[in-house]
A and B are shown apart, each in its own frame.
Chain A
Amino acid sequence: MKKVKMFGMATLALFGSTTAISAVAPVAASAARTKVVLWDGMTGPYAKALDKIVKGYNRSQSKYTVVRQSQGNYAALNQKIMAAAKSRTLPDMAQATYTQVPDYQKENLVSPLDSYMLKGSDKISKAQLKNIYPGFISSSKWQGKYYSIPFSKSVRVMLVNQDLLKQLGFSTPQSWNDLEKIAKAAKAKGDAGIGFDASFDMELEGMSTAAGNKFVSKNLKVNFAKPKVLKAANTIYDMLQNGEAWTAGADVYGTNRFAEGKTAVYFSSSAGVTISASTVKKFKLGTAVFPSYQGKRATEFAGNDIVMMNNGKKHQAGVWSFMKYLLKNKTTEQWAESTGYLPLTKKARNSASYKSYLKKNPLFKAAADSLPYGFQATAFSGYNDYRNKMLTAIDAVTAKKESPSKVFPATAKEMKTIISDNK
């Protein structure tokens, strides 16, 4: 019996599918309406905010009833989707990262949105499409078709210890040159200037993209070991080596260490601003847009999209109807204000009410100001495999203190193999 248990992984897949089935409990809906099921990874205040939006949608029309079912965190959500796919109990739509789309599409788990989004009576106009920030909508497309709409999106921002910065005699950093100076000054005082989460991959890809090289280009060329990427990586590596910067390691997020007050600038997701604001007690907290690198600014978006699942059911019109509702200026603004996620459209960002919200909540302004500079990493089939290799390389730099020029070339080779194997 004991030996049996080591097959936990395979067994879990089976158990997973049973849980998924039970999750789709029948919900009372009026007979005339079609029930449309949404699986998401939202919990706590985010779940409440989404509930409010779902309620709003259900009230706004009489054809569909959206039922949201939280599956826990994103990892659990992804696992349940795979299990549900196996037991043919997929929901009608689900939250997913856009980087998951190529693999989902390969497994035939998702349906393209084009026939609803671009054609038919309920399509969105070109003006509406243009209204969505290009950094978001560009990643919704895979192999020429739309598979997702952006939803819960965040961006990298700087959290600033304003008191320490003042003591050191600096103003809010605008560029990586400024940051290097701050880091040196802080180190001379016995503090660390800059803090990162466990991995600095998103900061590095921001710098590399500003310099002209994403880790993987749009046409799937691997740039991870290109001089521009290595140069940017060395900037961070040198700071880490000199004790001018730290990474959060097993803490995963650097919030607690930053809150201790001995770090001038900490790179965080804009989705973490709320938590940091409540954790920081010792000093005046500020936020700032990701710094420019070599005169250019690029900051990486993260977060989740919503995809239409290929479950063989005929609820797709309902799914699209809800997606369209989420992209409305009013809805995305409400979502952004209640969660701290980014508004998805330009009109929502520039609306008077959102501007007045930012006035009342100035810590969120940096994220909103980042919108024009936002980009997303290239997605492709095998992305998870690729990302794992990329994070391992970054980890070797932070934990083993190996130089990027030593680690990255071998990783780039592995990345190339992954991409060609998955073509």
Chain B
Amino acid sequence: MMNAKQTWKGSIKGWLYILPMLIGIAIFSIYPILKSFSMSFYTDYQFLTDTVLARGWGNFTYLFSDGDFHLAVVNTLIYVAGAVPLTIIFSLLFAVLLFRIKWLSGFFRTVYFLPFVTSTIAISMVWTWIFNARSGLANYFLGLVGIHPIDWLNDPKYAMLTLIIISIWKGLGFNIILLMAGLGNIDKRYMNAARIDGANAWQIFWHVTLPQLSPTILFVFINGVIVDFKVFDEVFAVFGGQPGPAQSAMTMVFYIYQQFYVMNQYGRAAAASVILFIMILIVTVLQLLISRHFDYRRPTKVRKAKGGVSL
């Protein structure tokens, strides 16, 4: 069947197979996206009757002049720039270690994976206790090494750091599993060859493992960026439904939530989500373009450079 010639009948049959899924995606994903795009231009809108009294760029001009929105964009960028690389570095470290020790590695893999399968809201409750300024675990340990207690959750200077720490912890499990799968796919012969050539462990890691792992790292990176751009649950739960002290943890999705559900400003919320969409799109495309230069497993690059053959 796989090699069957493409026929009209065959195509129709194929489409029928995926039709139920397509209908689901169209109703629950494509339609809301298109609707959000069109809603972002509603400047005067009656929610109940769905009557649009006026359309225009008003929502976007509001966002471009709204200090809260600027803050949300800046905070989101700081969060992504802080959380994504750190999560990957720690995940890589743990993945390589777990890959090397066979003993208890299954146990540790489960332990690291737990945050991923636990409800963010429930886990955030635990974190609020850990980061409690007066009775929390974090300050207790800091106290042991002589550091003064930090008001993690109520000091605007530390709120973002708190979020980043939680994000790293939460992201570890999923990334470790992916990276370990990537490590398992690397042909052992590369490492053996390097070893024969006299490379030490660090050289093997830097010149063999890391380049071979680059597609997995790229996936983890893109996935991390997209997930972290949309951070919301942690903020909501850790800061008691508020965007952190003095809005220091106001992120873009929190802003969208506030505009939509708290203030009932549907047009503004849609406009903000369109901007978020464009931002993620730009970052993702950039990542893909840059990654081509670092992908050692793509023979096309060399061929392209030499003979201009494109695939």
Please tell me if the beta carbons of A250 and B240 are within 8 angstroms of each other in the complex: yes
Please tell me if the beta carbons of B256 and A9 are within 8 angstroms of each other in the complex: yes
Q: Which residues of B contact A103 (CB under 8 A)?
A: 264
Contact with A along B231-274 (1 / 0, CB 8 A): 00000001111100111100001001110111111000110010
Identity of the chain A residue whose Cβ is nearest the Cβ of B241 in the assembled complex = A252
Q: Which residues of A contact B223 (CB under 8 A)?
A: 2
Contact with A along B1-44 (1 / 0, CB 8 A): 00000000000000000000000000011001101100100000
Please tell me if the beta carbons of B242 and A7 are within 8 angstroms of each other in the complex: no
Q: Is A14 an interface residue (CB 8 A)?
A: yes
Q: Which residues of A contact B265 (CB under 8 A)?
A: 385
Contact with A along B191-229 (1 / 0, CB 8 A): 000000000000000000000000000000001001101
How many chain A residues sit at the interface, stated as a range, is 35 or more
Q: In the bound complex, what is the Cα–Cα distance between A251 and B49 (angstroms)?
A: 40
Identity of the chain A residue whose Cβ is nearest the Cβ of B162 in the assembled complex = A250
Please tell me if the beta carbons of B246 and A395 are within 8 angstroms of each other in the complex: yes
Given that A1-B29, A107-B46, A384-B264 are contacting pairs, would A6 and B277 also be in contact in the complex, using a CB cutoff of 8 Å? yes
B30-75 residues with Cβ-Cβ distance < 8 A to A are 32-33, 35-36, 39, 46-50, 68
Q: Is A85 an interface residue (CB 8 A)?
A: yes
Q: Is A10 an interface residue (CB 8 A)?
A: yes
Please tell me if the beta carbons of A82 and B264 are within 8 angstroms of each other in the complex: yes
Q: Is A403 an interface residue (CB 8 A)?
A: no
Q: In the bound complex, what is the Cα–Cα distance between A2 and B257 (angstroms)?
A: 19
Q: Compute the total of residue contacts between A and B using a CB distance below 8 Å.
A: 115
Q: In the bound complex, what is the Cα–Cα distance between A5 and B256 (angstroms)?
A: 13
Q: Which residues of B contact A274 (CB under 8 A)?
A: none
* Interface segment, one of B82-90, B113-121, B151-159, B299-307: B151-159
Q: In the bound complex, what is the Cα–Cα distance between A14 and B35 (angstroms)?
A: 11
Q: Which residues of B contact A185 (CB under 8 A)?
A: none
Q: In the bound complex, what is the Cα–Cα distance between A79 and B258 (angstroms)?
A: 12
Please tell me if the beta carbons of B273 and A6 are within 8 angstroms of each other in the complex: yes
Identity of the chain B residue whose Cβ is nearest the Cβ of A397 in the assembled complex = B246
Q: Is A399 an interface residue (CB 8 A)?
A: yes
Q: In the bound complex, what is the Cα–Cα distance between A107 and B36 (angstroms)?
A: 20
Please tell me if the beta carbons of A85 and B47 are within 8 angstroms of each other in the complex: yes
Q: Is A19 an interface residue (CB 8 A)?
A: no
For the A-B complex with A2-B226, A385-B263 known, give 4 more contacts whose Cβ atoms are closer than 8 Å: A3-B277, A82-B264, A249-B245, A250-B238
21 A-B pairs (CB sep. < 8 Å): A3-B226, A7-B29, A7-B32, A7-B277, A9-B256, A9-B273, A10-B33, A10-B269, A78-B261, A82-B47, A85-B48, A86-B47, A107-B47, A385-B263, A385-B265, A392-B68, A395-B245, A398-B245, A399-B246, A400-B245, A400-B246
